[in-house]
Structure formats: structure tokens, C-alpha cells
Amino acid sequence: MKRTPFSSKSLWAGQACLALASLTTHAADVTITPPVGGGFVVKDQANHERLRVQGTGEVLVPGLAGTPITNSLLCFDGPTGRLGQCAPGVGSGAQGPTGATGATGPTGATGPTGAQGATGAQGPTGATGTSGTPGATGPQGSAGVPGPTGATGATGATGAQGIQGIQGPQGIQGPAGSSIVLTHTVVNAGTAAGDACTATACCGAGEKVLGGGYQASSNVAGIEADAVYVSASYPGIGGACGASVQGWNVRVLNPYRGVAPSCNAHAICSQ
């Protein structure tokens, strides 16, 4: 059971209650003397203040603020402080100014906190439920239709040229090749036809042509003698030299129309 702390205020309040309870027996006035700075307070069971008599003599009734509004006035006798009905005409004039609020009495001491109750025992853990069976695997879906081939992208820009690599090691020396012995050089005069001259220098049977060249003239005097165009200078097999015989072919054109050029073909041959 929680006990209310005992104080001097509760002491004289309790004495007041005992004195009031004995009025019918002794029929005498009850005198209550509060401590210095205190007052006389009456509260209900819900600890609501119903009546307060201050040490200054002021009487406060907090519950009057919540009562219904009526037309009856309450006055008191100045010399004795006795409450009673107001005389006719009293209170019909203008309302006077509100008096100053009296000082609030000191707050009573807070009672000690009760001890905390013991923690209840933890209930037993419930049993774990059984696991459900796995569902069957669904069938595999059919393959989708392949999408259309995308358009070819634009060709990218050419990258910058890379730096030159370092020189590799020298390779091993190869086997000595067979020596080539030049046999002779064949020169054959060409044949002019109009503004062109053609010539073929043929090697001997079984010989190989290793190179060749030409010599030509426009047959115009002065420095224009060498002003010719060479349209062909190449090795060949057969033709004017006969079957399987190698040689060198030349064709020269003259820029001067009406003048026949002259030319010679040179073939370097070897066995």
C-alpha cells in the first residue's frame, strides 16, 4: 500500500477534521491556526481545491468560476466580514476594477515514488511451424523471334599514326646465292610507223632477260631531239623474238606530228 507523506499541513488539516466531527458533541467553535505564510485549504477526494483562506484573510472559492451564471448577488459586512444578500440597488452601478490576485500558497512536498514491481516470467517459445513443400518448376518458355539486324554504323575516323617501333635484331646471314654471269647486251633498232617507233631486243635461246632500256630521238634538230614520249618499256617472252625466247620491248611516241621518230631497244641477257 502506498502511504502519503506526513507533513505539518496535513497535521493541522487532520485536526480540523476531528474538530469539525466533534461539533455536535461539544457545540463549540473550531479554531485552525495555519503556519506562518500558509493558509487553510479544503480539497475533494480528487485533490481539487474547493476553498482557500489565505494568511492575509482572503477567501478564495475556485469552483465559482465554473458555476452557472445567476442574477443573485452576494455581499459581505465590512466590519465583520459576514456574507449575505446584497441590499436592493446594490450592484446595479458600474462594475468596479478587478482586485489584485492574491499570492499563491507554497506547493506541498512531492511524495516518494513507490517501488517498482517485479518483472513477470517470460512465457514459453511457441513451436516452429513445418516448412511447405516446394512448388513444381514451370515449363521453359519458347525462344523469341530474333530481332532485325541493326544498321551498320558509320566508319570511325582514322587513328593517329603510331610511333615507329624500335629496330629489330639483325637476322642470321642467309646461304650464299648462285652468281649471275651477264652474257651480253642485245641492241635492236626499231621500226618507225607514222608518229611512233617500236623496237624489240631479243636474247638468245635459253637465255634470261635481266633488264633493258631504250634510246630514241624525235628527229627534230636542236634540243628537241630528245622530246619523245615512252609509252612502253618492258620485258617479254615470245612475240617478235619467237616462242619461249625472252627480250625487251619499247614503244616511243613523237610529239611532233608528221615527223617519224627513231628508237633502239636494249636487252641485258644472261645464261
Identity at 149, one-letter amino acid code: T
Position 20 scores a pLDDT of 43
In a domain, 260, yes or no: yes
The domain in which residue 74 lies consists of 8-85
Rounded Cα distance between 31 and 107, Å, is 23
Position 91 scores a pLDDT of 65
Domain boundary among 85, 119, 148: 85
In a domain, 19, yes or no: yes
Highest mean pLDDT among 8-12, 79-83, 92-96, 246-250: 246-250
In a domain, 35, yes or no: yes
Residues 6+ apart with CB under 8 A from 39: 52, 53, 54, 55, 105
In a domain, 166, yes or no: no
The pTM of the whole model exceeds 0.75: no
In a domain, 119, yes or no: no
In a domain, 172, yes or no: no
Position 60 scores a pLDDT of 80
Based on the structure, what is the number of domains in the chain? 2
Q: Is 242 left (phi over 0), alpha (psi -120 to 50) or beta?
A: left
Contact (CB, 8 A) for 268 and 188: no
Higher-confidence residue of 51 and 216: namely 216
Confidence of residue 263 (pLDDT cuts 50, 70, 90): very high
Position 10 scores a pLDDT of 41
Position 16 scores a pLDDT of 42
Cα–Cα nearest to 41, from 109, 114, 105, 100:
105
Q: What is the pLDDT of residues 100-113, one digit of tens each?
A: 887 887 887 887 99
In a domain, 133, yes or no: no
Residues 6+ apart with CB under 8 A from 260: 192, 193, 194, 195, 197, 219, 254
Position 180 scores a pLDDT of 61
Domain boundary among 47, 63, 85: 85
Domain boundary among 85, 104, 124: 85
DSSP-derived letter for residue 56 is T
Q: Tell me the DSSP string of 164-231.
A: PPPPPPPPPPPPPPPPP-EEEEEEEE-EEETTEEEEEEE--TT-EEEEEEEEEE---SGGGGG--EEE
Q: What is the pLDDT of residues 126-142, one digit of tens each?
A: 888 788 888 888 898 78
C-alpha cell at 91: 450592484
Q: Which DSSP helix (H) or strand (E) runs through 235?
A: strand 229-237
Mean per-residue pLDDT, 205-223: 91
In a domain, 93, yes or no: no
Q: What is the pLDDT of residues 215-247, one digit of tens each?
A: 999 989 888 888 899 999 999 999 989 999 999
Highest mean pLDDT among 82-91, 206-215, 216-225: 206-215
Mean per-residue pLDDT, 165-188: 74
